[in-house]
Amino acid sequence: MQLRQWPPRQLMFSNKVAAWAILVAFLLSSVPTATAGGDYDEWFWDITGDTTDEDGDGYNDTATVGYDPDTTCECDVDIYVYITIFDNDTGDEVDSGSFEYTINNGEGDWFEEDWTPDYNGTFDFNITLYDDEGYLEDYADWYDVELWAMTGSTDETINVENGVFDEDEDQLMNDLGFYAHVKDDDEEDVNITVWKKNILGIWTFFNNGTTDEWGDLTFKNVTSGEYMWDASVSGEKLAGEGGYAVVDDTYTIGHVGIIEDWDGADDWDDFMAFVPEGNGSKDDAYVEVFDENGTMVDNGTTDDENWGDDHFFISDDLAQGNYTHYIYEEQGGDLLQNGSFYSYGSTSTNYDEWFEDWDYETEDTNGDFEDDTINISFDPDTECDCEVDINVMIEVFENETGDGVDWVFGEFTINGTADDWFSMNWTATDNGSYDFNVTLFDEDWNFEDQFRIEDVYLTNGGGGGQGDEDEWFYEWDYSTEDTNEDDEDDTIIIGYDPDTTCDCEVDITVYVDVYDNETGDWVDGIDAEHTIYDEEGDWFEQDWTAYENGSYDFGVFMYDEDWNQEDEFWIYDIYLSSDDGGGGNGTGDDNGVGHVGVIDDWDEDDYVNDYIGGVLEDDEFKE
């Protein structure tokens, strides 16, 4: 099931999506296919797999495939993803499913599908991506996934969350919303009945409705006053569900309470509350949480965590059971919401880590007397008196638009509260003001802490940081030709148009590996270096001439200047005859003619930018 967010995304930040997007729990192979067709290309920009224990019996019973599909079209494109599961021992198909989504170039998407077997075993997953014309665009395989059938009792308790917020973005906090779910599974067809108190103080029926496929139900543009609600399924009241909500007379303040997996520990035992106001939320709203015995287990204001101008109260790692909460405008102030929720309990031990201190500075790295780079320093601590591996992600946003620009990632090891300072940097590719969200995750990608730096002006310094721009083959093709006029094609010419996300010059290296089609043995290899810029149209070619008659496969691999593999494609079963000379990127002659080319500092000006080339014939350089 796809990860989702409630209330609407403009009202709160979810750390789970960022953490999942960079989690690679198992090796997945994704190979662009040469059978793609249609007007545009689609592919899996990212794809991951993970297994979890959902019934709490100590054995992983659920496999989840997450993926981010992309397209070259700057338009809405319908895609179809098919997942087929096979028994690894027998090869028999066990199950399959199909999923339809709409994507658009440049937009970040993340979809998830999960599956649970009926018996213990090891399984293989085949994931294929088709466009709306039925062309196969990309595929991935996930092998040797060990899963157990569910044996424990899965907790299917339904939570119904309540909030008042500005869902329709009309600048009025007068949308009364509900969200029904079991952990991260949305619950459809939960009936919500709402009453409103009239001027005589009598509760009268207001409205009712059922949650949609996303678990949502919203009564929009309700009038100010006091509301009471209840929840039921198939006519039976949900035990422990129901509550009270106030819609403010001025429609300027809202309130939300929800059970979450806030710390990313996959255990849905963290209660989160916040009070929207203006373009952010209050940091002084007051919250109380009581267990089913009426004992207060937590209280405080909505300044536990913040995301920019949004402030939250968090009561984390609550023991399994029913709870009641109260949200006040401020301590000693008016009651805004009273309701109940169910905590599914903790299933893991999770030490706390946090940023004890942090700082930043900017600098000029390209000598133009304008600061283009930000250096962010931080001192992370842990409550564990031991070595702990942590992950830090810096997300970069345009200050004016809020659009995501880039991200930087780092891994570090800390011990207790030792005074450790680490630094990460990022260099702008365009002049502008930027915001930086710095998030701390533990080694299992549980969210731990974060801070935000806003409105930092940087000029274009060449771009990047301790992150990595993306490069890819936008288009490729090949042809064969006869170079020795024997009426048999002996040479393949492979052409390609590489692109990059960087608005700057980027050096890449493209390798072509040649394999015997029948045996799979490596035969030869050629390579070439290129400089590309953003998504400008380029076309480069490499050629290879066969030494012997036969069918060959060609793997074409792109690496960036840091030797990160960026993209690849394959060409299969190409028959070529022998030219006797053979080899790649050459003339194909067998007349004793050779050639050499090298980049060096020929004029000794300390710049390696002089091309030296020569042609050899009969062991002498030709003039």
* Residues 253, 310 within the same domain: yes
**Segment 476-501, tens digit of pLDDT:** 999 999 998 888 999 999 999 999 88
What is the share, in percent, of the chain residues with pLDDT greater than 90?
Answer: 60
What are the pLDDT digits (tens) for 532-553?
988 888 999 999 999 899 999 9
Range in 97-111, 400-414, 459-473 with the lowest mean pLDDT: 459-473
Q: If we measure between CA atoms, which residue out of 220, 228, 17 comes closest to residue 112?
A: 17
351 versus 417: which is more confidently predicted? 417
The CATH number of the domain holding residue 570 is 2.60.40.10
Residue 445 near residue 261 (C-beta atoms within 8 A): no
Rg (CA), the chain: 30
Contact 45, 22 (CB under 8 A): no
Dump pLDDT digits (tens) for 132-185: 888 999 999 999 999 998 765 567 899 999 999 999 999 999 999 999 999 888
pLDDT at 420: 87
Of 23-32, 104-113, 122-131, 491-500, the one with minimum mean pLDDT is 23-32
- Give CA–CA dist 543/289, Å, rounded: 70
154 falls within a domain: no
pLDDT at 19: 28
Q: Which residues pair with 289 in a beta bridge?
A: 298, 325
In a domain, 206, yes or no: yes
Q: Total structural domains in the chain?
A: 5
Identify the residue with better confidence: 351 or 73: 73
Clarify whether residues 188 and 236 are in a common domain: yes
Q: Give the pLDDT of residue 479.
A: 95
Distance (Å, whole) CA 614 – CA 616: 7
Shared domain check, 334 and 280:
yes
- Please name the helix (run of DSSP H) or strand (run of DSSP E) that holds residue 16, with its range, or none: helix 15-21
The answer to whether residue 66 is domain-embedded is: yes
| 242-272 confidence digits (pLDDT tens) | 999 999 999 999 999 999 988 777 788 999 9
Q: What is the pLDDT of residue 23?
A: 29
- Give yes or no: residues 554 and 476 share one domain: yes
Domain assignment present for 3: no
Residue 2 in domain: no
Residue where one domain finishes, among candidates 88, 122, 147? 147
Q: Are residues 168 and 241 in the same domain?
A: yes
- The DSSP secondary-structure symbol of 19 reads H
Q: Write down the pTM of the prediction.
A: 0.44
Is 153 a member of any domain? no
Helix then strand then coil, % of the chain, to nearest 5 = 0, 55, 40
Q: Check residues 11 and 424 and name the one with the higher pLDDT.
A: 424
Rounded to whole angstroms, how far apart are CA atoms 135 and 62?
30
Closest CA to 201 of 223, 176, 222, 226: 226
Q: Is 440 found in the same domain as 475?
A: no
- In this predicted structure, the answer to whether residue 105 has a pLDDT above a threshold of 90 is no
Nearest Cα residue to 62 out of 116, 7, 102: 116
Q: What is the pLDDT of residue 74?
A: 87
Same domain, yes or no: 332 and 187: yes
Among 263-267, 413-417, 460-464, whose mean pLDDT is lowest?
460-464
350 pLDDT tier (thresholds 50, 70, 90): low
Confidence of residue 598 (pLDDT cuts 50, 70, 90): low
Distances (CA, A) of 2 to 24, 101, 402: 17, 11, 24
CA distances from 531 to 427, 488, 499 (A): 20, 34, 10
Please, are residues 123 and 85 in contact by the beta-carbon 8 Å criterion? Answer: yes
Is the four-CA dihedral 575, 578, 583, 586 of positive or negative sign?
Answer: negative
Q: What pLDDT is recorded for position 345?
A: 85
pLDDT at residue 440, as a whole number: 94
Task: Write the pLDDT tens digit of every residue in 6-23.
Answer: 554 333 323 322 222 222
pLDDT of residue 267: 81
Q: Is the pLDDT of residue 27 over 90?
A: no
User: What residues are paired with 153 via a beta bridge?
Assistant: none
Q: How far apart are CA 251 and CA 223, in angstroms?
A: 9
Residue 270 sits in the same domain as residue 398: no
- Residue after which a domain boundary falls, among 91, 119, 147: 147
Cβ-Cβ contacts under 8 Å for 294 (sequence gap 6 or more): none
Rounded distance, CA 258 to CA 161, Å?
6
Identify the residue with better confidence: 392 or 620.
392
**Residue 4 domain-assigned?**
no
If you ran DSSP here, which 8-state letter would residue 477 be given?
E
Last residue of a domain, one of 395, 430, 465: 465
Q: What sign has the CA pseudo-torsion 237, 243, 248, 251?
A: negative
Same domain? For 291 and 173 the reply is yes
Q: What is the 3-state secondary structure (H, E, C) of 209-222?
A: EECCCCCEEEECCC
Distances (CA, A) of 257 to 220, 285, 310, 314: 18, 12, 14, 10
456 located within any domain:
yes
Could you give phi then psi for residue 20, rounded to 5 degrees? -65, -35
Q: Looking at the predicted structure, is the pLDDT value of residue 376 above 80?
A: yes
Distance of CA 588 to the CA centre of its chain: 47
* 462 contact partners, CB below 8 Å, separation of at least 6: 365, 366, 372, 427, 429, 504
Q: Which domain covers residue 13, as residue numbers?
A: 9-147
Same structural domain, 360 and 327 = no
Tokens describing residue 606: 């300390």
Domain match, 175 and 51 both? no
In a shared domain, residues 42 and 126 = yes
Q: Which pair of tokens denotes residue 378?
A: 């931080």
Position 245, amino acid:
A
pLDDT of residue 579: 64
The secondary structure of 377-397 as a DSSP string is EEEEEESSSSEEEEEEEEEEE
